[in-house]
């Protein structure tokens, strides 16, 4: 086998291994994970698209929100986020298995992009959201959540008295919005988990969905690289890094503001990659 053919074969084996754990991982993200020294990014993409490794386009999903007649202000629009546990976002999305409809709840810390709570259910009652919230509290441990903002859309589950009571007991602030960009971080998570993981696996029941959801979230949090994070770290790696260097490693995140048209990130990392270009599989 010629040298280039051998190198290509070795890369194909590595890509196959990556996609066993992360079946929807895009080619550009794979390139940055492998960082082969004999081929550049653009040539890598052309080669493996030609070899059939390009992913199919994602299907659009239907909105699941049923707005309820209560009002909470949007506390996060134009907010500068300086650390973890500043803003949590939560959302519900659907997942179809055959003729059956199931529902996924996610809670994400927007600073680190880490999924801190989640739940799969066969209903849209608030109990599923409460289970996800309990997981989020457990994930973060015994800390003071006073002032942490919990942001969601105006779905009825988030106005449930028991759910609001859980937030109030931890002295968290309730924030709600209506537009898609108001909840963009967690809605992005919805698509990533469904399109990059779940839809590539054989899932035939709620029990299997929960098992695969655990697998997907574990990989997403611990291994999936994020080009929006310094050095393309995973969320858990990023959180560990800022715990070790809380003063020298800071990421300041502006949340989208319709009035100010703010949608930018400010980084202060000595070793942060200068490649800030956007791509379809960046997120």
User: Mean pLDDT of residues grouped by 10 in the chain (283 residues)?
Assistant: 69 75 76 79 80 66 53 89 94 91 96 97 94 98 96 92 96 85 84 92 95 96 89 93 74 64 39 35 41
Q: What is the pLDDT of residue 278?
A: 35
DSSP state of 179: S
Q: Where are the domains of the chain?
A: 3-50, 84-222
- Rounded Cα distance between 113 and 225, Å, is 11
Residue the block writes with tokens 């949340």:
255
Q: How many beta carbons lie within 10 A of that of residue 29, not counting itself?
A: 23
Across the beta sheet with 80-81, what order do the strands follow? Answer: 80-81, 250-254, 265-268
Class of domain 84-222: alpha beta
Q: What is the pLDDT of residue 82?
A: 87
Ramachandran assignment for 13, one of left (phi > 0), alpha (psi -120 to 50 degrees), beta (any other): alpha
3-state secondary structure of 190: helix
Under 8 Å between Cβ of 106 and 189 = yes
3-state secondary structure of 116: strand
Task: Quote the pTM value.
Answer: 0.72
Q: What is the pLDDT of residue 21?
A: 73
């Amino acid at each position: 086998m010629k040298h280039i053919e051998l190198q290509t074969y070795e890369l194909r084996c590595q890509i196959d291994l990556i996609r066993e754990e992360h079946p929807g991982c895009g080619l550009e993200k794979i390139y940055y994970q492998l960082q082969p020294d004999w081929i550049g990014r653009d040539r890598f993409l052309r080669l493996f698209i030609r070899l059939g490794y390009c992913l199919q386009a994602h299907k659009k999903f239907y909105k699941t929100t049923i707005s309820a007649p209560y009002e909470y202000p949007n506390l996060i629009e134009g907010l500068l986020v300086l650390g973890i546990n500043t803003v949590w976002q939560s959302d519900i999305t659907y997942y179809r298995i055959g003729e059956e409809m199931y529902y996924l709840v996610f809670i994400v810390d927007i600073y680190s992009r880490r999924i801190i709570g989640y739940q799969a259910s066969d209903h849209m009652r608030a109990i599923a959201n409460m289970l996800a919230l309990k997981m989020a509290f457990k994930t973060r441990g015994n800390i003071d959540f006073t002032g942490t903002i919990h942001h969601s859309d105006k779905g009825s589950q988030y106005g449930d008295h028991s759910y609001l009571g859980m937030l109030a007991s931890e002295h968290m602030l309730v924030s709600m919005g209506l537009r898609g960009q108001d909840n963009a971080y967690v809605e992005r998570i919805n698509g990533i988990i469904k399109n990059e993981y779940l839809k590539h696996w054989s899932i035939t029941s709620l029990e299997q969905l929960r098992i695969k959801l655990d697998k997907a979230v574990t990989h997403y949090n611990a291994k999936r690289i994020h080009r929006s994070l310094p050095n393309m770290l995973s969320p858990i790696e990023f959180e560990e890094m800022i715990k070790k260097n809380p003063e020298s490693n800071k990421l300041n995140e502006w949340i989208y503001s319709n009035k100010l048209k703010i949608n930018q990130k400010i980084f202060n990392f000595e070793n942060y990659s200068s490649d800030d270009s956007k791509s379809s599989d960046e997120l």
